């Protein structure tokens, strides 16, 4: 179901990707959506008729809105505008899309997209909470630049993430990590210099959040410990929000015991030794302040060498700017983790803050496995497949 937001154009890519996975798609357009995407283009990509009229003589002779709502295995609303969310939450049915949503007995997945202030408005927040209570899955929205020129949370999630979520709900069979517990760290840490300034890095948290979501879809009970990020919490995951490396370390230890630990966070190695209560002032003609640094806890090594509650599998990340494999193997040996995923974060790469990643996976003394550049969601899916295969083989 395509709503009338500017992100409607992304649905053309979404339909194409679902078709590549063998998913049959039937499309419903709202009146506003038809102003933004061509029904002809939607029909061509979905290989079928586009439905957009509640009072169609041919469709409604067969009670088309009821048939559409019952024949699907999953109803996806993308983009879900503030108007559509409000109609869903309050049971309104004044067009084909909203009538179908009220009549369906199938799972519903929505991908909100709107102006950041509309998303933050108390009415929208109430509607979203009501929909969650009704069992609707909310995916996103993401943060970033929006079409109206404002920056904030309101962008529809990318088609790749939507495809993963849709396929996870359509796949049959047992979930391979059911019964296992997982811990994932994600994002940067902020180490305060004074009440205003802090030491940080460019990590967006996208890779760690994608891994947490993929583990949850595979059936694991997931705790995500996240530093300060602007992306939404993954569905089906317990998220603990922290600011500093010490807070992240405490949250990780509190989450034990777990079977799997994936340390994807870009944790600051050092923090200022002392943090004044007031902002450090710039003195005219004076020297710059001296910062004495103290070492932060090593979360990966702490988990990998835990004396009583070491996870069966500990996976680390190595963000490097030199000889990728040599430095990653050295880190793996120093930290004591089982696997390590190395990536090049040299100047000019877009791993930090970007949507894609290029991974070198090292799982032991054998040759490293170079993955091509992939969407971070695909990196997460591949990693979780490897984790599931390891546990299925009974190795620890």
Out of 27, 148, 252, 337, the active site residue is 148
* Nearest alpha-carbon partner for 377 in 228, 168, 222, 179: 168
Whole-number Å distance between alpha carbons of 316 and 355: 20
Give the pair of three-digit tokens for residue 220.
């694991």
- For 260, half-sphere exposure in the C-beta direction (CA atoms, 13 angstrom radius) is 29
Whether residue 77 contacts residue 3, with contact meaning beta carbons closer than 8 Å, is answered with yes
Q: Please report, in angstroms and rounded to a whole number, the separation of the first and last CA atoms in the chain.
A: 44
Element housing 87 (H / E): helix 82-90
**Which DSSP string corresponds to 7-31?**
GGGHHHHHHHHHHHTT----EEB-H
Residue 320, φ and ψ in degrees, nearest 5? -125, 160
Is-catalytic flag, 148? yes
Distance CA 31, CA 322 (A): 54
d(Cα 213, Cα 348) in Å, to the nearest integer?
Answer: 28
Q: Are strands 198-199 and 191-192 parallel, antiparallel or unpaired?
A: antiparallel
Between CA 302 and CA 304 the distance in angstroms is 6
Helix and strand tally (H, E) in the chain?
A: 15, 21
How many residues are recorded in the chain?
396
Strands 142-145 and 151-155, sheet pairing: antiparallel
Q: What positions carry a catalytic annotation?
A: 148
């Amino acid at each position: 179901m395509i709503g009338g937001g500017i992100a409607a154009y992304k649905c053309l890519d979404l339909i194409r990707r679902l078709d590549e996975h063998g998913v049959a798609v039937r499309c419903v357009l709202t009146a506003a959506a038809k102003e933004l995407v061509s029904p002809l283009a939607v029909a061509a990509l979905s290989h079928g008729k586009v439905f957009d009229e509640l009072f169609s003589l041919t469709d409604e002779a067969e009670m088309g809105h009821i048939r559409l709502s019952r024949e699907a295995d999953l109803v996806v609303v993308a983009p879900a505008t503030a108007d559509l969310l409000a109609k869903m939450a309050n049971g309104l049915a004044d067009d084909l899309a909203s009538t179908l949503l009220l009549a369906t007995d199938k799972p519903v997945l929505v991908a909100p997209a709107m102006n950041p202030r509309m998303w933050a408005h108390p009415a929208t927040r109430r509607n979203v909470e009501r929909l969650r209570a009704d069992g609707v899955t909310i995916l996103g929205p993401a943060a970033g630049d929006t079409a109206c020129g404002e920056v904030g949370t309101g962008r529809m999630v990318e088609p790749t993430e939507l495809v993963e979520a849709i396929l996870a709900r359509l796949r049959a069979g047992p979930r391979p990590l059911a019964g296992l517990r997982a811990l994932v760290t994600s994002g940067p840490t902020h180490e305060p210099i004074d009440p205003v300034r802090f030491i940080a890095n460019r990590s967006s948290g996208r890779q760690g959040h994608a891994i947490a979501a993929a583990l949850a879809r595979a059936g694991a009970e997931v705790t995500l410990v996240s530093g300060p990020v602007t992306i939404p919490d993954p569905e089906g995951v317990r998220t603990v929000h922290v600011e500093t490396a010490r807070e992240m370390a405490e949250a990780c230890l509190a989450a034990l015991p777990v079977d799997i630990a994936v340390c994807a966070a870009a944790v600051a190695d050092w923090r200022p030794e002392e943090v004044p209560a007031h902002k450090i002032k710039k003195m005219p003609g004076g020297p710059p302040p001296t910062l004495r640094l103290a070492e932060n806890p090593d979360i990966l090594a702490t988990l990998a060498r835990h004396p009583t509650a070491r996870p069966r599998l500990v996976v680390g990340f190595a963000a490097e700017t030199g000889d990728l494999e040599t430095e990653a193997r050295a880190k793996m040996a120093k930290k004591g983790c089982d696997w390590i995923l190395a990536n090049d974060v040299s100047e000019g790469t877009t791993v930090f803050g970007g949507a894609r990643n290029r991974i070198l996976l090292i799982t032991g003394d054998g040759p490293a496995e170079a993955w091509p550049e992939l969407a971070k969601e695909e990196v997460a899916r591949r990693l979780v497949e490897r984790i599931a295969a390891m546990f299925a083989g009974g190795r620890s």
